[in-house]
Amino acid sequence: MTANIHPTALVADGATLGKGVEIGPYCIVDADVVIGDNTILQSHVVVKNNTHIGQNNVIYPFASLGQVPQDLKYEGEKTTLVIGDNNTIRESVTMSIGTNGGGGVTMVGNGNLFMALSHVGHDTQIGNNNVFANSATLAGHVEIGNHATLGGLSAVHQFTRVGDHVMVGGMTAVDRDVVPYGVVSGERGVLAGLNLRGLKRRGFDKARIAKIREYYSMIFEDHEGTLEERLHAVWLENQNCEDLKMWREFIKSSSRGMSMPSRI
């Protein structure tokens, strides 16, 4: 089955469209764009600048994908936006291509939901099965893991990482890395506990959750010593725990520092 292109859509020669692709009214698709099988552009969607979109995505009206970065250092270099499979991209979502300073690729994985007006900045790397509520915004060079949820009107500072299974509250500004399984909320993303409901929904059993809660309390809620010292002490006694190993690697690789609980 060939692509179905509405008469009012502008699809440049050289664009690559897979089987079953639908290009709705008034869409604009550039020459160097690739769109995979069964992806739907409903109407008024703009796709530009070497953007590669996978299969079975649904893109709603007025989404703008692959526009140049909102970065004054960008000088027109040829970079790209790569979007995986089975994503839902709602109305007026914006996603930028990468920059040479960030590796040149903005990457979106599979199975993500981007609600209306959410934004993905240049060179951002997004995993799979995340939810971005209305007007959730990611600055450049952000990293989002898998199964994270970002609340409405939340914002993530450039170069900040949000780990797997994290819950970011609505209207939260995140300017430090958020440990996997964490919950952050408030004006500057205070670590407010664990995303226990999310872990249960994802099939974590009671024993595993109990261990995660125990280690969280020892590492993040204890006031003795530094974060690194507490982490090291817990690690020495529990080196076979995969969740603790993930936390250790995440924390040790942080360049911005970690979101922490309020001390008030």
Active-site residue list: 122-123, 140
- Please count the residues of the chain: 264
- Rounded CA-CA distance 159/245 in Å is 22
**Six token digits for residue 131:** 């939810």
For residue 107, give Cα distances in angstroms to 51, 52, 122, 178.
Answer: 10, 10, 9, 20
- Rounded CA-CA distance 60/45 in Å is 7
| Strand-pair category, 182-185 with 46-47 | unpaired
Residues ≥6 apart with Cβ < 8 Å to 240? none
Place of tokens 């500072």: 157
- Rounded CA-CA distance 71/146 in Å is 26
Query: Residue 93, Cα to own-chain centre: how many angstroms?
Result: 13
Residue type for position 212: I
| CA-CA-CA-CA torsion sign (55, 57, 61, 66) | negative
Residue 73: other Cβ atoms inside 10 A: 12
Largest CA distance in the chain: 67
Residue 29: other Cβ atoms inside 10 A: 28
Are the beta carbons of 47 and 66 closer than 8 angstroms?
yes
